[in-house]
Structure 1
Amino acid sequence: MDPLDVWPFPALRVTSGDLELRYLDDDLLLQAALLAADGVHAADAMPFTVPWTRGTPAEVATSVLRYQWSRRAELSPERWVLELAVLRGGELVGLQGAQATEFRVTRQAETGSWLGLRFQGQGIGTRMRRLILHLLFEGLGAERATTTAFADNARSNGVTRRVGYRENGRDVLPREGAAAESIRYVLTRDAWAADPDRPEVALDGVAAVRRHLGVPD
């Protein structure tokens, strides 16, 4: 039996120019953990609902490993979290993920991501979001993509609006012991297709991933 028949994700590639999304195998996962340990945001900021970036560098790296290993173990057609390494010119710069519950029914997925601090402000965030959206809409047949960001996370909100999402409500969430406003966004298939700046994207290994996730053709 071909190992990819059992676990097809290592063959998945989403590529545009020098940027690539690739399955997070153990080698890339260790690189991602060490990158996160070097810093993901300023010390006085917290862009995440779960403050996994707090702690010593070793604690942050360990948190990344444990989280990612747990997501692999729980991946199923009913509920999945697909985390992909973001590589620019072959160098790992961050992670881009998508998650869904009963995607084969709802055709809706939520995106989330992070970049190493030293790679921020270079336009990579916008590019990697467009790549994961191409995978969701073109590769997996999504009808809607959602995302959230705290109101004070200017870069994340900027990327989200730039690629065509519309605001879909606001919530007040606890963040490190204080209330913080979080913005919900939604992007429809039609809005994604109308984006004039969508790049040329190559998809590889998607058909087997669809079958594994129970998504009909």
Structure 2
Amino acid sequence: MLELTDVWPLFGLKISSPRLELRLVQDEDLPGIIEAALSGIHDPAAMPFSTPWTDAPKEELMRSTARHQWHVRSGIAPDNWTLNLVVSHEGTPIGMQDIGARDFSIRKTVTTGSWLSSRYQGLGFGKEMRAAVLLFAFDHLGAEVAESSAAVWNHSSLGVSRSLGYVQGSVKRVVTRPGELAEQQEVSVTSAEFKRPDWTVVVTGLEAARKELLGNHAIDGRVPTVPLSR
């Protein structure tokens, strides 16, 4: 009998760090993710996201979150993809970490974004989940550059970036809430500049899911030296 991972191999992909587990969102994860978001992510007076999705009323936020997850998942294709990963600590969803790429086989560049429930902020989880996807991207996918951005006032996010070796780029002006201008600081880090943690990740399920992300492209024309799965 077919398993769900036979139909959609990316559902078997899992990234494990010392305290966290990251995996592609499935429908049964939606209630826990939404509860984590509704418990609070940021001060309502300041909007850290380029799309102000946390401003939505409860019912609208629940529906739009589900629609967004389905939309992103349906758009995954080799060389062009975004993985929305639920971040769990001791079995409880505490936030989301995404990682995406466009023309990956040529650009070897990924972008990341994340949010973390307020009750879990200040405990090092934000840095751990970002470091986990960077280790995944650089060591298991063959990425060369990772890009991100944060509001110029979001010192905690920018602090995580600095601690992992990111360098600041340009500042772009964006509209977050209607009629509200904000500035976003762009940052990037190369594989060589990445300040690695003193731990590594265990990646399972990538061998089966690899074609969904990389298609027939080999990494640098050869097999990576880091095992694709364990």
Task: Indicate conservation of the 8 Å contact 1:74/1:80, yes or no.
Answer: yes
- Return the offset for 1:74: 1.1
Q: Could you tell me which residue of structure 1 aligns to residue 227 of structure 2? A: none
| 1:58 CA drift (Å) | 2.1
SS of 2:41 mapped into structure 1:
coil
Counterpart of 1:25 in structure 2 is 26
Deviation at 1:20, TM superposition (A): 1.1
Residues of 1 paired with 2:205 and 2:175: CA distance? Answer: 39
Please list every run of 5 or more consecutive structure 1 residues that lacks an aligned counterpart in the other structure. Answer: none
What is the count of residue pairs matched by the alignment? 215
1:184 equivalent to 2:181? Answer no
* Alpha-carbon distance in structure 1 between the residues aligned to 2:117 and 2:61: 13
How far does the alpha carbon of each residue in 1:89-140 deviate from its partner, in whole angstroms, 9 at most, with x for none? 1111001001111112211110000011221111100000000111111111
Counterpart amino acid of 1:160? S
2:43 aligned counterpart, secondary structure: coil
Deviation at 1:63, TM superposition (A): 1.8
Deviation, 1:37, is: 2.0
Q: Please name the residue that 1:11 is paired with.
A: 12
Measure the CA separation in 2 of the matches of 1:98 and 1:147: 10
Question: Which residue is 2:120 aligned to?
Answer: 119
3-state DSSP of counterpart to 1:109: strand
Separation in 2, partners of 1:3, 1:26: 12
- Indicate conservation of the 8 Å contact 1:38/1:57, yes or no: no
In 1, Cα distance between equivalents of 2:41 and 2:138: 28
1:131 paired residue number: 132
Secondary structure in 2 matching 1:211: helix
How far does residue 81 in structure 1 lie from its aligned partner after superposition? Answer: 1.0
5 Å matches for 1:37-116?
Answer: 37-116=38-117
Q: Which amino acid aligns with 1:71?
A: V
Amino acid aligned to 1:183: Q
Number of the residue aligned with 2:176? 175
Pair 1:208 & 2:219 matched = no
Contact 2:22 2:87 in 1 (8 A): yes
Contact 1:36 1:61 in 2 (8 A): no
One-letter amino acid of the structure 2 residue matched with residue 182 of structure 1: Q
2:4–2:11: 8 Å Cα contact kept in structure 1? no
Distance in 1, Cα, partners of 2:111 & 2:193: 16
The CA RMSD over aligned residues, in Å, is 1.6
Q: Which runs of 4+ in 1 moved over 6 A?
A: none
Does the 8 Å CA contact 2:148/2:187 hold for their aligned counterparts? Answer: yes
Shift of 1:141: 0.9
Distance 1:144 1:26 in 2: 31
Q: Supply the distance in 1 between the matched residues of 2:81 and 2:41 (Cα, whole angstroms).
A: 24
**What residue identity is the alignment partner of 1:212?**
E
Change (3 A) 1:91 1:2: closer
Could you report, residue by residue, the CA deviation over 1:55-78 in whole angstroms, capped at 9, with x for unpaired residues? 222222222111111101111114
Secondary structure of 2:54's match? coil
Paired residues of 2:108 and 2:145 also in contact (CA < 8 A): yes
TM-score, normalised with respect to structure 1: 0.93
Out of 1-10 and 103-112, give the one that drifted further.
Answer: 1-10
The percent identity for this pair of structures is 35
